[in-house]
Structure 1
Amino acid sequence: MTWLEFVLFGMAAFRLTRLIVFDQITDWMRRPFMDKVEEINSEGETEVYFLPKESGLRGWLGALLSCYWCTGIWVTAGMFLARTYTPLLYKPMVIIFAAAGLAALIETWVQSKNIG
């Protein structure tokens, strides 16, 4: 693996992991493994939290899907297997997710600087 491919691999793993763990578009995937908890804060507003289910396979998967570090390991392993066994699918996937990851980092930087 060249350094350029390694950097692209890392950016793609970053973006795909965030997609699974944090993005609203994949909420449907996390929901069966989470319990919704509502609390009223000191200002009287309702705050909603999602916590992994207490036990069993659904609890284990909920813990996995709520942990950036845990999910990142499995995403990276899957990407490595895709690189090894399905390179024709791997290459465009890595380019798409790496570009999206870089775009997300640039957008975060732009927002922090109040540019545009």
Structure 2
Amino acid sequence: MEISWLEYIIFSMAVFRLTRLLVYDQITEWIRSPFMDEYEEKNDEGKAEIYLLPKEGGLRGWIGALLNCFWCTGIWVSMGLFAMRFYFPVLYKPVVIVLAAAGLAAIVETWIQSKNIG
């Protein structure tokens, strides 16, 4: 099994973006919510802050812990996309290219915001 450096970089960008999508993005909150409990605390200024923590025990707790960990989710996303490369190659290429482009765009946007450009 061979993979070119270019494909590896594109694959890595796709893994990065899909992992962030699952772990952090608001649009996928519906995926995380059955596995998380909401806790509200007051900060030093008296404002309410909401924290999401994995449910306690069982399968829901395990999945919640997985979705709460960027590193853990990244491994499973990598394995899923890698399996897709072999079992669904027609789907793999467009999915990975779109995710990689979105990942690169996110990195560029973060860099631009950090430099106060634009």
Q: TM-score range by the shorter chain?
A: over 0.9
Alignment deviations for residues 29-55 of structure 1 (CA, whole Å, 9 cap, x no partner):
000100000001111110100000011
Q: For 2:76 and 2:101, how far apart are their aligned partners in 1?
A: 21
**CA-atom RMSD in angstroms:** 0.5
Q: How far is 1:2 from its partner?
A: 0.3
In the alignment, is residue 86 of structure 1 matched against residue 106 of structure 2?
no
SS at 2:52 equivalent: strand
Q: For 1:81 and 1:104, how far apart are their aligned partners in 2?
A: 25
Aligned residues: 116
In the alignment, is residue 109 of structure 1 matched against residue 99 of structure 2?
no
So what's the TM-score if we normalise by structure 2? Answer: 0.97
Runs of at least 5 residues in structure 1 that lack an aligned partner in the other structure: none
Q: Percent identity?
A: 67
SS at 1:54 equivalent: coil
Alignment correspondent of 2:23:
21
Look up the equivalent residue of 2:49 and give its one-letter code. E
Runs of at least 5 residues in structure 2 that lack an aligned partner in the other structure: none
So what's the TM-score if we normalise by structure 1? Answer: 0.99
Matches within 5 A, 1:49-88: 49-88=51-90
Query: Structure 1 segments of 4 or more deviating over 3 A?
Result: none
Alignment deviations for residues 91-113 of structure 1 (CA, whole Å, 9 cap, x no partner):
00110000000000000000001
Q: How far is 1:8 from its partner?
A: 0.1
